[in-house]
Chain A
Amino acid sequence: MNEGADSMLKISGLEARAGGRDILKGLDLEVGRGEVHAIMGPNGSGKSTLAGVLAGRPTIEVTGGSVSYRGRDLLAMDPEARAREGLFLAFQYPVEIPGVNNVYLLKAALNALRKHRGEAELDAFEFLGLVKDKMKLMKMDDSFLNRGVNEGFSGGEKKRNEVLQMAVLEPALAVLDETDSGLDIDALKVVANGVNSLRSPERSMVVVTHYQRLLDYVMPDFVHVLSGGRIVRSGDKALALELERRGYDWLEEESAA
């Protein structure tokens, strides 16, 4: 078996700047097909910057290193090309877009993907059938469909809408940026349930989170600690529990030593 077939994402020596500051300072990470990786770390460690780099956020400047996604140079691709190649970012702060209908956006997004893959576009009827199934999974009622994208949604509704989009678009690599933040326990369970339903041997996930709470529901294969713009420790689920018990300080002290 060649190496490329099992590799979903390979990040080497990644350096990035945002807001006039160096945030990522030589980050290495490798994600295999079907694996779920959790990225944890204190505030300001660069977690969201990493998620942003992967999706192609224009306000982040990559100053060094490389990112290979399914054997291709990810950094050379536009955000829309990344999406069409199966990369999905669940936003930490989903954007409200009044006037753009939620269901139309979903349909346009799905059809952009299908067109890219050379598949027939879905008509309105087929699409609606698909989307309603996924909405049941996310415990969303039909009124969500005809509202503006995230318009007037509560924090929890926005996060559920992100996972709904993910469920409809069925990405090869899903990056979840603090999808658990701001959720009460019931909403967290719904979101985790949605994420778990998407786990498959073909799909990889990078779950960025500050707290290990989400990881009680979405079991990661690997846990990495990001601090000062680099991965300072990697382990399995036990590392997340240790972080919960001891906080992040001991790691920072250790890595500074």
Chain B
Amino acid sequence: MSTPATRMDLPVLPDWIEAAAAPRSGEPGWVGARRRAALEQFRAAGFPGRRDEAWKYTSLRLVERRSFASSPGPVAAPGPARIPAIHGLDGPRLVFVNGRLVEADALPEGLTAVPLVDADARVAEPLLGRIADPARHRFAGLNLACFAGGLLLDVPAGLELEAPLRLVFLSDGGREPALSCPRLLVRAGANSRATVIEHYFSGEGETLCCATTEAALGPGSRLVHYRLQEESADAFHLGVLAARLERDATFVSHNLSIGARLARLDLDVLLQAPGAAVEMNGLYIAGGRQHMDSHTRVDHAAPRTTSDEIYRGVLTGKSRAVFNGRAIVHPGADGTDAKQSNANLLLSPDAEVDTKPELEIYADDVKCSHGATTGQLDAEALFYLRSRGLDLETAQSLLTFAFADTVLARMGLETVRRHAERLVTGRLPDSERIQEFT
């Protein structure tokens, strides 16, 4: 038996993390054990630095410098005015404030949503922290150590949900910076169909949203997942979205990131059985001094699995973006089809992007394609539009919108697409000129 390392040997974590990870009473023992393990893992790893390959271009100095308080108890539901509407969207809504569920509509028959800490251990224990591995994603580990309540969303086998379920996550600071650790576990039963929208925004003051979602997709299931992040300029956002797919399951991920001072999302998909398929659509719009980091990873671990990824970014001002797209075709994953593209539009000489596709192929009979581009607006297209009477600013704005909309056009929910388009137009230069186009 090994001797546990003493606290003194290990790096000291900031008080706010120790406070957020303080032991809870009334939680099942297995949850507590998992929290403690995650905390120790985070303590050992610490905050990432430049020497961590996965964080080479993203510095968390600004996060480390601050102290984020976690809400000790229940929080009040926000007034309806504080929750951005998605016009025309039907379906139940669940509202979380600083990671805690504060408001829930009635759910359709068959669908259950319970706090993770109250969930049936036979369901939750094999999954919690097992899909978003804390060893790979240290902020999924921090979330595991600190999450308050969490939510297990259980879509039973064969259930086909018509209406999308919308989860609203409000991070709300105040006089002092606030920590929010929403945690979601989605279990999609065999041959089920569901659409889940995660909608992140923030209120007053500085906030850190450390969000983790895990999804377990059963055989033949289809889960369509929207992630909209529109937090304020005072927000930090460190998200992890991890999915594991069984035979013939399909996961569709739409990810729009336009908010926060610094935003990072790790999207990690394991195609573990034949016929599993993932579609990943991402759009990041950064301006001012914003920093946007998208790290995606797909593991093709079985034959005939497919991935189709398109990520695009528009950068203005002094903003910076990072895209890292990794696709691993494991031995035996013959017949894999992996497509990836990343394109970036730099609208300012002071904006910067680091893009890196990583393809690792260890199987035969594999179709893989990837491409990354970074550039300015197409001069010939600009001239074409101007030669039709559109002024320069309108032409630029229109081409920029069209570039971004290529990603949004892949959204199946018209209402969410319109909302996303409005958000994007609101962030582009001279966007008032192209209202009639959008």
| Residues of A that sit less than 8 Å from B by CB | 55-59, 78-80, 82-84, 88-89, 91, 94-95, 97-101, 104-105, 107-109, 112-113, 116, 148-149, 165, 169
Pick 22 A–B contacts, CB within 8 A, sort by A.
A55-B387, A56-B387, A58-B383, A59-B379, A79-B383, A79-B387, A80-B392, A83-B386, A83-B387, A83-B388, A95-B378, A95-B381, A97-B399, A99-B401, A99-B403, A99-B405, A100-B385, A100-B437, A105-B385, A108-B389, A108-B390, A112-B389
Choose among B378, B386, B437 the residue that contacts A79 (Cβ–Cβ < 8 A). Answer: B386
Give the distance in Å from the alpha carbon of A98 to the alpha carbon of B312 in the complex: 14
Chain B min CB distance to A82 (Å): 8
Q: Tell me the minimal C-beta distance from A149 to chain B in angstroms.
A: 8
Chain B residue numbers with a CB within 8 Å of A116 are 389
Establish whether residues A80 and B384, one from each chain, have CB atoms under 8 Å apart when the complex forms: no
A109 and B399 within 8 A (CB) = no
A57 touches B436 (CB 8 A): no
Residues in A neighbouring B388, C-beta threshold 8 A: 83, 105, 108-109, 112, 165, 169
> What is the chain B residue whose CB lies nearest that of A114?
B389
Cα–Cα distance between A83 and B389 once the two chains are bound (Å)? 5
The answer to whether A80 and B386 touch across the interface, beta carbons within 8 angstroms, is: yes
Shortest Cβ distance from A179 into chain B, in angstroms?
14
Within B259-285, the residues touching A (CB, 8 Å) are none
Closest to A110 in B: B389
What residues of chain B have their CB less than 8 Å away from a CB belonging to chain A? 378-381, 383-392, 394-395, 398-399, 401-403, 405-406, 409, 436-437
List 9 A-B pairs, minimum CB-CB distance, nearest first: A99-B402, A112-B389, A83-B389, A109-B388, A79-B386, A95-B384, A80-B386, A100-B402, A99-B405
Q: Give the docked Cα–Cα distance between A23 and B403 (Å).
A: 34
* A83 to B394 alpha-carbon distance, docked (Å): 15
Least Cβ–Cβ distance between A106 and chain B, in angstroms: 8
Residues from chain B with a CB closer than 8 A to the CB of A101 are 437
Closest to A79 in B: B386
Contact of A108 (CB < 8 Å), options: B378, B392, B409, B436: B436
Q: Which of B390, B391, B406 contacts A99 (CB 8 A)?
A: B406
B384, B385, B391, B394: most-surrounded residue (chain A CB, <10 A): B384
Residues of chain B within 8 A (CB-CB) of A89 are: 387
Q: A99-B406, A113-B389 are in contact. Are A57 and B398 (CB under 8 A)?
A: no
| Residues of chain A within 8 A of B406, CB atoms compared | 98-99
- A100→B405 CA distance, assembly (Å): 9
CA distance A91 to B384 in the complex (A): 8
Enumerate chain A residues within 8 angstroms of B394, measured Cβ to Cβ.
108
Contact between chains at B383 and A97 (CB < 8 Å) = no
Residue of B nearest to A91 (CB): B384
With contacts A99-B403, A99-B406, A99-B409 taken as known, whether A57 is within 8 angstroms of B383 at the C-beta atoms is: yes
Closest chain-B Cβ to A160's Cβ sits at a distance in Å of: 16
A82 to B389, CA, bound (A): 8
- Chain A residues near B395 (CB, 8 Å)? 80
- Of the candidates B381, B387, B392, B437, the one having the most CB atoms from chain A within 10 angstroms of its own CB is B387
A57: B residues at CB distance < 8 A: 383
Of A80, A94, A105, A107, most buried by chain B (CB within 10 Å of CB) is A80
Q: Which residues of B contact A105 (CB under 8 A)?
A: 385, 388
**Candidates B378, B379, B391, B437; contact of A104 at CB < 8 Å:** B437
Cβ-defined contact, A84 with B384, below 8 A? no
Known: A80-B395, A95-B378, A112-B391. 14 other contacts (CB 8 A): A55-B383, A58-B379, A58-B383, A78-B392, A89-B387, A91-B384, A97-B385, A99-B405, A100-B399, A105-B388, A112-B389, A116-B389, A165-B388, A169-B388
> A100 contacts B389, CB within 8 Å?
no
Cβ–Cβ < 8 Å partners of B402 in chain A: 97-100, 148
| Min CB gap B420→A, angstroms | 14
The distance in angstroms between the C-alpha atoms of A165 and B387, with both chains bound, is 11
A87 to chain B, nearest CB (A): 9
User: Would A95 and B380 count as touching, CB distance under 8 A?
Assistant: yes
A26 and B387 alpha carbons, distance in the complex (Å): 25
Which B residues lie within 8 Å of A97 (CB)?
A: 381, 384-385, 399, 402
